[in-house]
Amino acid sequence: MTRFIVKHLLKAILTIWFIVTVVFVITRMSGDPTDGLLPDDASASVRHEMRVSMGLDRPIHEQYAEYLGDVLAFDMGDSYYYLRPVNELFAERAGRTLTLGVASFVIAIAIGVPLGVLAAIRRNSLADRWMMGFSVAADAIPGFVLGILLIFLFSLGLRMLPSGGSGTAAHYVMPLIALTLGSVANIARLTRSSMLDVLRQDYLDSARARGVRETAVIFKHALRNALIPVVTIIGLHIGALIGGSVVVETVFSFSGLGSLIVSAAQQRDFPVIQYGTMLIAIAVTFTNLLVDLSYGWFDPRIRKPH
Amino acid sequence: MNENKEVLAEVKNLRKSFPVNKGMLWRRRSGAVRAINDVSFNIYKGETLGLIGESGCGKTTLSRIMMGLTDATEGEVLYKGQQVGAGAPSAFRKEVQMIFQDPYSSLDPRMNIRRIIEEPMRIHTKLSARQKLDRILFILEKIGLDEDALERFPHEFSGGQRQRIGIARALVLQPELLICDEPVSALDMSVQAQILNLFKQLQQEMKLTYLFISHDMSVVKHVSDRVMVMYLGRIMELAPKRKLFGNTLHPYTSALMSAIPLPNPELRRARTLLEGDLPSPLNPPAGCPFQTRCPKAQAVCRTRMPALQEAEKDHFVACHLYSGEAGA
Amino acid sequence: MNMLLSVRNLKTYYRSGSSVVPAVDGVSFHLRKGEVLGIVGESGCGKSTVARSLINLLDKSNARIEGGEVLFHGEDLMKQSRKAWSRIRGKKISMIFQNPQSALNPVYTVGDQIAEALTVHQKMSRKEARDRVVELLKLVGIPEPESRLTNYPHEMSGGMQQRAMIAIALACHPEIVIADEPTTALDVTIQAQILALMDRIRAQFQMGMILISHNMGIVAEMCDRIMVMYGGVVVEEGETAAIFAAPSHPYTKGLLASIPSLDEDRDTLYAIPGSVPRLTAPVGHCRFAGRCAYAKSKCWESEPPLIEGENGHRSRCWLMEAPDRGHDDERE
């Protein structure tokens, strides 16, 4: 087990290093950040001075070496735009995005899995058909369209919820719905088809034949097997969730990490982009590591190959 | 009986091992499954050589090598004196055909019977449409299906009829050697007899040679002229049918025969039950592979694999009981 | 005379599209205490459907019990509630399946699955359950039971898996064990071990056993009485010795003649012509008539009843209605 974790940790670190490097190179190729920071009529010498102060005049491999050194020393640099340490900027907003993301993730699983199980055991019933219809529709609507529709309905129409901003609990409601609905649908559909597969298996009949009650047959014997493929997809959802939160935060002017990174990209605020993508890379690789570990719990054939 | 017989195929010191890899980041070889271990035998023209064995004995791997579908690790297979393998001559591909176990999955469900039977001829011959049809009709009659079967699809046939179609496809190139891998195990009892009779009838009419693989001893006994018994990748005993069944030498062969339930309640007998499981081919026992379960195992069996040797005329056995090494 | 189970006119039909398949079409039999009853037949004859009907494991989406009763201790099993079934299954009647690899849940240890068979029926502590599991594993001949119980199914061989399934079936000392092709998925030498084990355990616990098989050899060795099924009905029934010594139904005769023998050499086997028919309900003729060498017009006009011969040996064939037999007395 320890070997398994160490091996996967090493792989995760390798992955993160790779992503950080690619992002570093791409940002340097994306153009001159002083374009956005200085007025259009700024003189060439002013521009040059600014680039020197940012260290952008040096060869890229020197910049890269310095950047890696800083990262290892947990120095993420200052934002070009806000002129403040990137760490501080992120710390202010991370809580909100984290709340949004974790809540969305938990809700998607908590609703999606039971819905899928229900649809599978009531296959072809009215409930099943409604569920499938809803799921296709919810999956088809992009988060930002859904966000705008929600604003029309709840903010402009019913005047129940604030259309944008962040701070109170009410500010979370619509972003959460916009972010989560697609995932719920997706997980429900996947759980359903995986469950239908498992419901045909002999070991359920053999459990029934030894006197196990139907509820235990479903929730003890079938569900754990059905979740094995679902767990893989849930891992992939983390990536989609982060992408989705960037869009949704922008739609709802929700002041979190997503909107920070989007504006940083527009302003060529390299330190913010780099730190943001690194955090995302860390989040994704580590949740995938957790998924891999839980995979072993769900499926002993992986934990103890024969 | 073999001196005046013509050798059709010759298997010499054949070995096949599959590497087993471990590790995710840096895969390294951690061992090997020895599917086939130093196997040599001949197939004579016009005979049926039966091959019997339990799971892991190597019968499937052997048939794949003989078909040229996979390469041997060591040793060689000669067909009419020429080596079988990736670059085998096209004559070999035409003359050696295979019949599979599962009549349900071995036929393409989207092809009608005409196309299924015709396909090998499209690949291997330059016959005209008329000639192809003549051959198809000839084969169809031989295997006992009506002409109106041609435009129908596999799902419209029963298991036995599908196996007939599989046989027709194999026969349409007029092969000499048919490798039959458990060809009747998926069939119902009443249909199994029909197909077994068909095999015998076709052999006489078309001068076929069979390598007939099965786990069912009574089926093997019925169809074969000679029988080869394998265990964990090795030949244990090889003899003409009457000798093998009338004067069984190898303890494993005896155990196999004793294990078969006979359809005669008056013959309920005291069995020599083999204890324990079949060893894993990944981790075979030292010495003779059968020594862990053999009721007659002795010290020498645990250290040295006995060679396959002719204990009596034409009767080969790999057992220390007959090599003079073990005390009787 | 110690009647354990008595089945009368059981009918289980499958619906596929618009057609109705009479998988089991009026099957009657009984099972005595300590007796082994064999049900033998080819695919589609209804033998497995009988087994699944008896223990209420039919696929409800297309199978339905159309009629009949199954009396067990004076109660009709066909009228039990779902709750009542969970007290019968595993405790009174249990089942051994064809493929142990798929009948064991891959994500739980073998020990857990055997323990479950105990704890669903009686309260016991973890320690008690564990001790009983070890005892059961010993009983079914699994070596090193203490360490084997933490194994997952994939860590065991097919033979060991089937032993574990037998341990599950035996956990509560049921009165009846239904074994549906219990050795079909196993190698010959392992099959012999499992059959010997089943025989020993049945004798030890004096259980009634229904052994379903397509293999004439297995039923000949294991069973006291045999029912031969064809097309959803019993075509012949009697003591094992009587059936093998003097089969009376043309189908049974044909089957026995078509098995290649280890003792004698025959050049060609007897082969029943044709293949197993696909029947739809209702059937108004002898189901075997289309493949029978003795079929006459009467066989196509009405379906014969089970006609009694000597020593309770019964056969569903008009040929049995020989003049010297006098009357036909059907006891269905």
| CA angle, B23 then B25 then B28, to 5° | 45
What's phi and psi for B25, nearest 5 deg? -80, -50
Q: How far is CA B85 from CA B66, B71, C94, in A?
A: 8, 6, 52
- Token pair of C48, please? 């497995």
Residues B317, B312: Cα–Cα separation, whole Å: 9
Residues of C with CB below 8 A from B190's CB?
42, 254-255, 258, 271-272, 275-276, 291
Please write the tens of the pLDDT for every residue from A2-12.
777 888 888 88
Interface of B with C (CB under 8 A): 54-55, 158-161, 188-194, 196-197, 200, 215, 217-219, 221-222, 245, 255-266, 268, 271, 273-275, 277-278, 293
CATH number at residue A260: 1.10.3720.10
DSSP for B12-62?
EEEEEEEEEEE-SSS-EEEEEEEEEEEEEEEEETT-EEEEE--TTSSHHHH
Look at residue A290 and tell me if it is in a domain.
Answer: no
Chains that touch C (3 or more CB pairs under 8 A): A, B
What's phi and psi for B320, nearest 5 deg? -65, -20
Contact pairs from chain B to chain C, CB under 8 Å? 128
Q: How far is CA B246 from CA B142, B249, B323, C247, in A?
A: 34, 9, 20, 29
Report the pLDDT averaged over residues C74-100.
93
Residues of B with CB below 8 A from C188's CB?
54, 215, 217, 256, 259-260
Residues of A with CB below 8 A from C104's CB?
203, 206
Burial C279-289, CB ≥16 within 10 A → b, else e: beeeeeebbbb
Look at residue B292 and tell me if it is in a domain.
Answer: yes
Largest Cα separation within chain C, whole Å, is 68
Of residues C23 and C310, more confidence is placed in C23
Residues A115, C213: Cα–Cα separation, whole Å: 41
What are the residues facing B52 on neighbouring strands?
B214, B229
Residues A285, A279: Cα–Cα separation, whole Å: 10
Report the pLDDT averaged over residues B203-224.
93
Structural domain span for residue B312: 250-328
Cβ-nearest to A206 among C103, C152, C154: C103
- Do A242 and A104 touch, CB atoms closer than 8 A? no
Residues of A with CB below 8 A from C172's CB?
211
- Do A164 and A253 touch, CB atoms closer than 8 A? yes
Query: What is the pLDDT at residue B28?
Result: 57
Could you tell me how many residues make up chain C? Answer: 332
Residues of chain A where predicted confidence (pLDDT) is lower than 70 = 1, 306
The verdict on a CB contact (< 8 Å) between C157 and B222 is no
SS3 label, residue C92: coil
Look at residue A255 and tell me if it is in a domain.
Answer: yes
Cβ-nearest to B273 among C187, C193, C218: C193
Among the residues of C23-157, which ranges form H helices? 47-54, 82-88, 100-103, 110-119, 126-139, 145-148
Distance of residue C247 Cα from the nearest chain B Cα, in angstroms = 12
Look at residue B262 and tell me if it is in a domain.
Answer: yes
Of residues A232 and B239, more confidence is placed in B239
ipTM given for this complex: 0.90
End-to-end alpha carbon distance in chain C: 19
Tell me the pLDDT of chain C averaged across its residues: 91
Structural domain span for residue A124: 98-267
Chain A touched by C185 (CB under 8 Å): no
Please write the tens of the pLDDT for every residue from B81-139.
888 876 666 778 889 999 988 877 888 989 999 999 999 898 888 889 999 999 999 99
Residues B138, B141: Cα–Cα separation, whole Å: 5
B200 to chain C: closest CA residue: C268
Helix (H) and strand (E) counts for chain B?
Answer: 9, 12
Query: What is the pLDDT at residue C66?
Result: 93
- Token pair of A7, please? 């091996």
Distance of residue B25 Cα from the nearest chain A Cα, in angstroms = 8
Question: Taking the CA of residue C155 as centre, how many other CA atoms within 13 Å lie in the half-sphere pointing to its CB?
Answer: 18
| Nearest residue to B229 via CA among B207, B214, B247 | B214
A6 to chain B: closest CA residue: B25
Run of H or E including A108: helix A86-121
| Percent of all residues in chain B with a pLDDT value above 90, rounded to a whole number | 58
Q: How far does CA A220 lie from the centroid of its chain? A: 30
Q: Is the peptide bond before A114 cis (omega within 30 degrees of 0)?
A: no
What's phi and psi for A192, nearest 5 deg? -60, -50
Residues of A with CB below 8 A from B25's CB?
7, 10-11
Q: What angle, rounded to 10 degrees, do the helices at C110-119 and C126-139 form?
A: 110
Chains that touch B (3 or more CB pairs under 8 A): A, C
Residues of B with CB below 8 A from C241's CB?
265-266
Q: How far does CA C173 lie from the centroid of its chain? A: 19
Contacts of A30 (CB under 8 A, 6+ apart): A268
Residues A303, A21: Cα–Cα separation, whole Å: 33
Look at residue A11 and tell me if it is in a domain.
Answer: no
Residues of B with CB below 8 A from C157's CB?
277-278
| Percent of all residues in chain C with a pLDDT value above 90, rounded to a whole number | 79
What's phi and psi for B236, nearest 5 deg? -95, -40
Please write the tens of the pLDDT for every residue from B249-282.
999 999 999 998 988 888 766 677 888 888 888 8
Report the pLDDT averaged over residues C156-181.
95
The residue ranges of DSSP E strands in C157-232, in sequence order, are: 176-180, 208-213, 225-230
Q: Give the model's confidence band at C253: pLDDT under 50 very low, under 70 low, under 90 confident, else very high.
A: very high
What are the residues facing B19 on neighbouring strands?
B32
- Token pair of C83, please? 């709750």
Residues of A with CB below 8 A from C91's CB?
211
* pTM for the predicted model, two decimal places: 0.87
Distance of residue B117 Cα from the nearest chain C Cα, in angstroms = 22
Residues C53, C203: Cα–Cα separation, whole Å: 25
Residues C225, C239: Cα–Cα separation, whole Å: 4
Query: What is the pLDDT at residue B236?
Result: 97
Cβ-nearest to C117 among A210, A225, A306: A210
Q: Which amino acid is at B147?
A: E
Indicate the number of domains in chain B: 1
The verdict on a CB contact (< 8 Å) between B259 and C276 is no
pLDDT of B285 > 50? The answer is yes
- Do C208 and C32 touch, CB atoms closer than 8 A? yes
Residues A26, C134: Cα–Cα separation, whole Å: 63
Chain B touched by C220 (CB under 8 Å): yes
Contact pairs from chain A to chain C, CB under 8 Å? 81
Chain B touched by C187 (CB under 8 Å): yes
Count of C-beta atoms within a 10 Å radius of residue A44: 7
Q: Give the model's confidence band at B3: pLDDT under 50 very low, under 70 low, under 90 confident, else very high.
A: low
What are the residues facing B10 on neighbouring strands?
B42, B78
- Token pair of B197, please? 């009779």
SS3 label, residue A61: helix
CATH 3.40.640.10 fits C3-92+174-325, yes or no: no
Report the pLDDT averaged over residues B197-212.
94
Chain C touched by A214 (CB under 8 Å): yes
| Nearest residue to A70 via CA among A10, A15, A18, A20 | A20
Q: How far is CA C255 from CA B143, B263, C201, C259, in A?
A: 22, 11, 30, 7
Please write the tens of the pLDDT for every residue from C24-43.
999 999 999 999 999 999 98
- Token pair of C28, please? 């009657």
- A positions 168-207 inside 8 Å of C (CB): 201-203, 205-207
Q: Which amino acid is at A118?
A: L
Look at residue B298 and tell me if it is in a domain.
Answer: yes
Query: What is the pLDDT at residue B304?
Result: 92
Q: Is C164 exposed, middle or buried (0-12, 13-18, 19+ CB in 10 A)?
A: buried
Q: Which amino acid is at C30?
A: H
Kindly state the DSSP code that residue B308 receives in the 8-state scheme.
P
| Percent of all residues in chain B with a pLDDT value above 70, rounded to a whole number | 92
What's phi and psi for C93, nearest 5 deg? -130, 125
SS3 label, residue C84: helix
Look at residue B208 and tell me if it is in a domain.
Answer: no
Of B78-87, B187-196, C308-317, the one with minimum mean pLDDT is B78-87
The verdict on a CB contact (< 8 Å) between C94 and A301 is no
Please write the tens of the pLDDT for every residue from B286-314.
999 999 999 999 999 999 999 999 999 99
pLDDT of C71 > 90? The answer is yes
Residues A25, C13: Cα–Cα separation, whole Å: 69
Query: What is the pLDDT at residue B160?
Result: 87
Interface of B with A (CB under 8 A): 24-25
- C positions 43-62 inside 8 Å of A (CB): 55, 57
- Token pair of A148, please? 């705008």
Kindly state the DSSP code that residue C89 receives in the 8-state scheme.
B
Chain B touched by C253 (CB under 8 Å): no
Residues of C with CB below 8 A from A221's CB?
105, 108
Indicate the number of domains in chain A: 1
Query: What is the pLDDT at residue B88?
Result: 64
